Amino acid sequence: MTKTITDVICPFCGTLCDDLEVVVSDDGKKLLEVYNSCVIGTEKFLHSQSPDRVTRPRMHQEDGSWKEVSYDEAVEYTAQMLAKAKKPLMFGWSSTNCEAQSVGNEIAEISKSCCDNTAATCHGTSLIAIQDIGLPSCTLGEVKNRADRIIFWGCNPAHAHPRHMSRYSIFPRGFFTGKGQMSRKLIVVDPRVTDTAKMADIHLQVEQGKDYELLNALRVAFKGEWLPDVVAGIPSEKIREAADVLKSGRFGIIFFGMGVTQSLGKNHNIDEAIAVTKDLNEYTKFSIMPMRGHYNVTGSGEVFAWQFGFPYAVDLTRGFARYNPGDTSTIDLLARGEIDAMFTIGSDPGAHFPISAVKHIAAVPSVCVDPHLTPTSGVSKLHVPVAFNGVECGGNCYRMDNVPIDCRKVVEPPEGMLTDEQFLIKVRDRLKQLKGVA
């Protein structure tokens, strides 16, 4: 016999789809089928059932081989590493729950670590802009029920957030958008002709790195002032057409991604995008929202802000929180060789960071806490596999619109395997003993 668990949260991306159905064996140990999820979300669930999955901690040996160790040995190595280091770095947090993040931040305070999350390489610039001038935002439920003007700027949800358009932004029939897609106008700003752009009513094919100029031109077009014939590779007539479409809506939303946050201009692009939103509110109701990627990257920023007062790139080495992105953020610290120990959890910097930063991770004592085999686990001295968040353990997480949601456990982890939170609690308690902290 099997049983079906309904209303399951998908732990892949920041959309946190909450309508999944998961079929498990009667004893709750085997996950069999996943319904309503996108292809990527389904793979996240089914990958937990991989027969060749690593289920015990492994220590890298001098000859390049791996030696299996116990969780107690892994806890001891991690605590000793953090206790001895003068400037350790704790990075990641975006694919784990808020409870584990909170314990991790306690460890960072005790060990006087630098503590950072994956926003440092994606939406950290958004956070800087929001600190500058605020964020007129809303919930995804409001988008579904009210929005008749949608902008996707520098993002491609058809691939990165596959159910975003069908659940919230384009296709669903909402309270005031009863005709679904026919009730809405879609504008896509992207230098490439993506699958999302192919669906757009207007595709503004902006010149690479010219987002700021186009945002500024839209603000000019709203007021009907003079524009050059071409701005950022787009004819002024098309810019004015897009401006008129935006002004004529009843409720609009700008979704922006890494095409804006990590291109030339960075946080100043977001400053201008928020200013565009502010200008549009003189004509209609408009909001703006970052398309957050990892399933709980929004939550990690929230937890950092609760405990440290800053959302990422926090330096605790002096015993109090300092915040200076570009100086206290992860890649900068690694590239300058300032870190003498590396603790990674819920992320994979080895796959995405510059090679100079990855080489430094490989050169210092390092721990990677991750249920997967990744490039980061491959270069770390210790790999600690843990239960899959949102599959084998529950916990609190935040959707991309800052709505907190509790994920639920659907299947048992392999026998004897710890969760992120359980492992971190053991490390924290041992570190307190080593540091003589009550």
Spell out the residues 6+ positions from residue 181 whose beta carbon is closer than 8 angstroms to its own: 170, 171
Residue the block writes with tokens 């609009």: 252
Give the orientation angle of helix 71-84 with respect to helix 98-111, to 10 degrees: 40
168: phi then psi, degrees, rounded to nearest 5: -130, -40
Q: Is the Cβ–Cβ distance between 266 and 125 less than 8 Å?
A: yes
Spell out the residues 6+ positions from residue 310 whose beta carbon is closer than 8 angstroms to its own: 304, 321, 323
384 burial type by CB count under 10 A (0-12 exposed, 13-18 middle, 19+ buried) = buried
Distances (CA, A) of 361 to 80, 348, 350: 17, 12, 8
For the chain, 438 residues long, give each residue's pLDDT as a single digit of tens: 899 999 999 999 999 999 999 999 998 889 999 999 999 999 999 999 998 899 999 999 999 999 999 999 999 999 999 999 999 999 999 999 999 999 999 999 999 999 999 999 999 999 999 999 999 999 999 999 999 999 999 999 999 999 999 999 999 999 999 999 999 999 999 999 999 999 999 999 999 999 999 999 999 999 999 999 999 999 999 999 999 999 999 999 999 999 999 999 999 999 999 999 999 999 999 999 999 988 999 999 999 999 999 999 999 999 999 999 999 999 999 999 999 999 999 999 999 999 999 999 999 999 999 999 999 999 999 999 999 999 999 999 999 999 999 999 999 999 999 999 999 999 999 999 999 987
Triad 95, 152, 250: Cα angle to 5°: 120
